[in-house]
């Protein structure tokens, strides 16, 4: 691994985008990936109490109910007209089973993965879904109980010795879930992999039949138990982050198409806190990988508990501050590590490089769906809160947070709203953009916003980052999932394409929705013969 280059200002002719104009005085140590344990520090975390719970049974929206059958496939009738150029398959992953018998899971992130497809071909639409047959799912169905550690669920043990054994399995990774319920990506070699935050939860599926094909096994010796749930995947590479919970930091790694071997680009050491911050996603630019360090940090003590805390496997440590690190993709050099205002984000949108009039890179701009540094967003995603809407459980405010990370050696960066949050109802998450603009300056983003009062994002919104305006789609009582942008082949305009979302309707129905990427007007919808639970993230597989 290359160490950080030393030196003062470089000449314009010799300018290398992977060197800072004034390199920060910080070295890069040798990397290690170890067990999930992290050393205990004396400084106390901020305590976020659970609110009081009304245990009476509320009416349940179809979005928060388990899907009723293991698999289904059929042709959908279309209202409106599908673009003739739209040929390929949209896949959406997410937690579709939230109960085992009469036992109900507690959190949105716990459910067993259901993969849904929309296969577009010459104006026709074939849809279907199938359960991902992870070991966690198969064991739960066989034994009718939770057998692996999910986001907030822990296997129940009969006695103390069994509990000690379960903890041993936790440290070895045996008891961690492989429930790949978060995302789905198409690798450069056309393999399709479903993912979650545990490395063992990487599962290959057949994108046509949705059949579970087996585990995606990493062939390197990097070890570790967790990684970013959202890698950066293109036809030429796979980039991801591996948090190191014992020696707090992150490995930045790359994998080439056709390979299962991750290779280290470099390491970032944390600048604050007893453990690295949660890194659910991260952005890249053309030359850099941006590594966020949130004050919402992994917590071994919480991970070891038999019952979840309000912040689950994390703790909120504002005294540890927040940082953004910038690493050169080519060399592994760290070109900036700056303190930024406190923030909480699940999802980064995109990032790009800012240049001066002489073409020198002076800063990195990184956009995210930012929850106003409010850790209560995790509690609001408990299924009980989602199933029972009340104003006291209202959706916390969120915005498009824009970081400016200077590369001039200064120690501080900025975080501001990229546009007025009222444009999108002060709700913002589940984002996409035109993938041709990955790592480049871009104008449009698509996400889920809010029409209030609500306790969950309930609109689809198109953000114009130049005009600082938003267009919103809303249907009363409906809960749409991530709006996914698919560009028209040969398009020259950034927003020339369609936006696909799957919607859970207020009357128990489910339908696929297509919006025009430019006007954001509905062009088609196709109703499923059953209700769809809420899903998370998707990918597009064009027809060969």
Residue-level pLDDT at 168: 61
User: Is pLDDT at 17 greater than 90 in this prediction?
Assistant: no
453 upstream amide cis, omega within 30 of 0: yes
Helix, strand or coil for residue 459? strand
Residue-level pLDDT at 465: 98
How confident is the model over 239-276, as pLDDT tens digits? 999 999 889 999 999 999 999 999 999 999 999 989 99
On the 0-12 / 13-18 / 19+ scale of CB atoms within 10 A, 237 is middle
Q: What is the pLDDT confidence band of residue 60, given thresholds at 50, 70 and 90?
A: confident
Q: Is the Cβ–Cβ distance between 216 and 259 less than 8 Å?
A: no
Distance of CA 385 to the CA centre of its chain: 21
Using alpha carbons, select from 397, 339, 398 the residue that is nearest to residue 369.
398
Span 438-453, average pLDDT: 97
384 marked ligand binding residue: no
Task: Please tell me the number of Cα atoms within 13 Å of 88 on its side-chain side.
Answer: 18
230 marked ligand binding residue: yes
How confident is the model over 482-494, as pLDDT tens digits? 999 999 999 999 9
Ordered alpha helix ranges (H), 131-172: 135-143, 160-172
Query: Mean pLDDT of all residues in the chain?
Result: 88
Q: Is the Cβ–Cβ distance between 462 and 423 less than 8 Å?
A: no
Q: Which run of H or E residues covers position 379?
A: helix 376-380
d(CA 265, CA 500): 34
347 marked ligand binding residue: yes
537 marked ligand binding residue: yes
pTM summary value? 0.89
For residues 138, 143, 144, 147, the Cα torsion angle rounded to the nearest 10 degrees is: -70
Span 27-47, average pLDDT: 35
d(CA 15, CA 10): 6
Instruction: For residue 320, report the phi and psi dihedrals to the nearest 5 degrees.
Output: -85, -10
Task: Please tell me the number of Cα atoms within 13 Å of 430 on its side-chain side.
Answer: 31
């Amino acid at each position: 691994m290359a160490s950080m280059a030393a030196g003062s200002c470089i000449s314009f002719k010799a300018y290398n985008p992977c060197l800072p104009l004034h390199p920060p005085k910080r070295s890069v140590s040798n990397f290690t990936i170890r067990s999930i344990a992290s050393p205990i520090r004396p400084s106390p975390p901020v305590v976020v109490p659970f609110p009081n719970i009304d245990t009476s049974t509320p009416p349940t929206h179809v979005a928060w109910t388990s899907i009723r059958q293991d698999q289904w496939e059929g042709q959908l009738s279309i209202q409106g007209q599908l673009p003739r150029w739209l040929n390929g398959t949209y896949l959406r992953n997410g937690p579709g089973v939230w109960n085992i018998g009469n036992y109900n899971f507690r959190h949105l992130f716990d459910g067993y993965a259901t993969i849904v497809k929309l296969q577009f071909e010459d104006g026709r639409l074939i849809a279907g879904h199938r359960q991902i047959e992870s070991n966690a799912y198969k064991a739960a169905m066989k034994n009718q109980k939770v057998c692996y550690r999910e986001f907030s669920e822990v296997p129940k043990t009969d006695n103390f010795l069994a509990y000690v054994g379960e903890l041993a399995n936790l440290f070895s990774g045996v008891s961690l879930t492989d429930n790949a319920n978060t995302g789905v990506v198409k690798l450069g070699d056309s393999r399709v992999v479903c993912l979650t935050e545990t490395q063992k939860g990487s599962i290959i599926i057949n994108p046509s039949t949705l059949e579970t094909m087996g585990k995606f096994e990493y062939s390197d010796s990097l070890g570790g138990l967790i990684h970013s749930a959202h890698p950066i995947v293109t036809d030429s590479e796979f980039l991801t982050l591996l948090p190191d919970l014992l020696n707090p930091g992150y490995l930045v790694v790359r994998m080439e198409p056709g390979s299962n071997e991750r290779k280290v680009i470099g390491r970032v050491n944390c600048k604050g806190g007893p453990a690295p911050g949660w890194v659910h996603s991260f952005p890249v630019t053309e030359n850099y990988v941006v590594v966020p360090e949130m004050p919402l940090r992994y917590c071994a003590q919480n991970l070891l508990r038999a019952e979840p805390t309000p912040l689950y496997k994390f703790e909120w440590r504002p005294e540890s501050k927040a940082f953004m690190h910038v690493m050169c993709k080519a060399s592994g050099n760290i070109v900036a590590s700056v303190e930024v205002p406190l923030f909480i984000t699940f999802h980064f949108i995109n990032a790009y490089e800012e240049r001066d009039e002489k073409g020198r890179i002076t800063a990195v701009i990184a956009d995210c769906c930012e929850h106003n540094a409010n850790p209560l967003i995790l509690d609001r995603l408990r299924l009980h809160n989602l199933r029972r809407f009340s104003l006291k459980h209202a959706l916390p405010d969120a915005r498009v947070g824009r970081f400016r990370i200077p590369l001039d050696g200064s120690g501080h960066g900025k975080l501001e709203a990229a546009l007025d949050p009222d444009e999108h109802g002060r709700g913002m998450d589940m984002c996409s953009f035109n993938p041709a603009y990955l790592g480049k300056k871009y104008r449009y983003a698509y996400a889920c916003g809010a029409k209030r009062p609500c306790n969950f994002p309930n609109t689809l919104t198109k953000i114009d980052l130049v005009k600082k305006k938003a267009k919103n789609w809303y249907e009363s009582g409906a809960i749409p999932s991530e709006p996914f942008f698919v560009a028209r082949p040969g398009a020259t305009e950034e927003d020339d394409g369609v936006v696909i979302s799957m919607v859970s309707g207020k009357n128990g129905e489910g339908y696929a929705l297509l919006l025009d990427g430019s006007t954001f007007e509905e062009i088609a919808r196709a109703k499923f013969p059953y209700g769809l639970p809420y899903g998370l993230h998707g990918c597009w597989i064009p027809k060969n």
